[in-house]
Amino acid sequence: MSKKLWGGRFKKGLAESAIKLSFSVDIDKRLVQYDIKVNRAHAKALLAAGIFSKPEFTKVDKCLDVLSKKFEKSDDLIADDEDIHSCIERLVTEVCGDLGKKLHTGKSRNDQVITDTRLFVKDECVRVKKNINALQKALVQLAEKHHGLIFPGFTHFQPALPILFSHHILAYFEKFKRDFRRFETTFETSDVCALGAGAMAGNNYGLDREGVAKKLGFSSLTLNSMDAVSDRDFILEFLSAASFCMTHLSRFCEEIIVWNSPILGFISLGDDFTTGSSIMPQKKNPDMAELIRGKSGRVMGHLVSLQTILKGLPLTYNRDLQEDKELLFDTTDTLNDSLECFTDMIKTLKVNKVAVAVALRQGHLLATDFADYLVGKGVPFRDSHEITGKAVMFAIEKGCQIDELTLQDLQQFSKKVEQDVHEALCLESSVKAKNIIGGTNQSQVAKQIKQAKAWTLRATKGK
């Protein structure tokens, strides 16, 4: 059993059940490189403060550098340590003797763990943004490939209006653009150095916090030591941004699952992102989309879990906060894995234009265009809405679509109907009429594609 960092005041060690419950090294070992980096920056501050001599600092710094290289290859150096912080201190002490014991001067595990975690979240924000950007590029390519394809638009999953398929795809581009920005904001929130806050009141050694922050790549410092060690808002922001992103992935997956069903048959997915059935040989299941949809609930649950942990905690540090990292780590893995898989899956999506064309002839998609046509003839919209409803009922009774009614059929509902009515009642005219910023008109969607391309280029360059 390795020596604990806090055992001097106790006569007995922890019970086995307490060790099992409280030791976290199997989880927070993921922070090992960040912990070493923070220790090296702290050692430099101890040198500047006169706690370390130059030879002492050099010996400790070299030891930490060697440990970093060893941990890159394996985590076999971890023993029965309480957490990754006590592990690193033990390893340094084994090599450097009392110098290892001096390394902890002026810092606490409280300010060290939060500094480690902030560095981790910053890196994960960069990673997530890169994956979102890759997905956005795939969406732009898909929209561009099918630009001009008319597709049924839905509300309440009922046929609503004709749209361009590319318009539908770019709707998700906009959602992921907001997600990208949320992770930019989370990066900024995380980019604050807490080291120097000590256990909760600061430290007595006048350590150069600004120098430490600069060495660690932080742009600013925490301004209140009590807030510094108790704050988990930046993790909440990451989990919140991840929940938004997973929600958008899940919604898109739901549509892919429905579109992929032979009942609609709008699309098909590549064999490499579908699976079969152990009993039904005809099945080709969209399992990857289903899994991503399912994993969204897991990420949302992590957000609620951390909020629940935080809501009853007094200042400052409480051991409950140890639970944050398992939630955070699982969220980062789940989100990034989902983004990467979804992006690869989208690239295999093929559109069945025949099935789409069949769907466009169901549900009276052009009914609203008839109402708009009447408005153009001077009929108040509320009246045109009622007239159109009656025309739809008539078409249903005749077993046809509203645009298949004859001129005479339509004129019985309004004397304003003229010879040009069927020019308005066609899919192409419906789409073309939505010529407004953000609309589904072809030229407007072409602008959206151009703007989306420019966005992905700026995001790739980090601008």
Supply angle C-alpha 94, 98, 104, rounded to 5.
95
> Which is catalytic among the residues 53, 219, 261, 277?
277
| Residues pairing with 351 in the sheet | 267
Dihedral class, residue 69 (left if φ above 0, else alpha if ψ from -120 to 50, else beta)? alpha
CB contact at 8 A, 35 and 88: yes
> At 207, phi and psi to the nearest 5?
-65, 145
Catalytic residue among 156, 225, 230, 243: 156
Structural contact between residues 13 and 92, judged by C-beta atoms closer than 8 angstroms: no
Within its chain, how far is the Cα of 311 from the centroid? Answer: 24
How far is the C-alpha of 15 from the C-alpha of 17, rounded, in Å? Answer: 5
Q: Please indicate whether residue 277 is annotated as part of the active site.
A: yes
**354 contact partners, CB below 8 Å, separation of at least 6:** none
What is the rounded CA–CA span in Å between residue 260 and residue 276? 14
Is residue 212 classed exposed, middle or buried when 0-12, 13-18 and 19+ CB atoms within 10 A define those classes? buried
Non-local CB neighbours of 179 within 8 Å, separated by 6+ positions = 132, 241, 244, 245, 248
Which residue blocks in 351-441 are alpha helix, DSSP H?
A: 353-359, 367-376, 381-398, 407-411, 421-424, 427-433
Paired tokens of 347: 């690239």
The torsion defined by the Cα of 372, 378, 379 and 381, in degrees rounded to 10, comes to 50
Which helix or strand (DSSP H or E) is residue 36 part of?
helix 32-48
Output the six-digit token pair for 301: 């649950």
Active site residue 248: no
Q: Which residue has the tokens 């980096």?
A: 37
Helical (H) or strand (E) element with 42: helix 32-48
Of 343, 248, 247, give the one whose Cα is nearest residue 303. 247
Q: Could you list the active site residues?
A: 156, 277
